Amino acid sequence: MAIEYRGEKFAGYNKPKKTPNAGKSHAVLAKVGSEIKLIRFGQKGVSGSPKKAGESESYRKRRESFKARHAKNISKGKMSAAYWSDRTKW
């Protein structure tokens, strides 16, 4: 079920993808109810945090700091860039 939105193809709603030619590292076509929104998120060239299994203490603190710093925006749900960044990169 490929969806084309503003000349860009997505695998489906609420499915993030990498964006090689945009200013941000990822994009998602978010849909809640009947509202649809294109959200670009993530700094290019930054990997976020590695997977939790076997992560170092500094990466754990880095990940927790991100989640604490953006908790208010993450809680806004699928229509916020922080939600998708938390889910995809952290």
pLDDT tens digits, 57-71: 888 898 899 999 999
| Model pLDDT, residue 77 | 95
| Model pLDDT, residue 50 | 63
H-run or E-run covering 4: strand 3-5
Q: Is residue 65 classed exposed, middle or buried when 0-12, 13-18 and 19+ CB atoms within 10 A define those classes?
A: exposed
H-run or E-run covering 30: strand 24-32
Identify the DSSP state of 48.
-
* pLDDT band, very low/low/confident/very high, at 51 (cuts 50, 70, 90): low
Whole-structure pTM value = 0.86
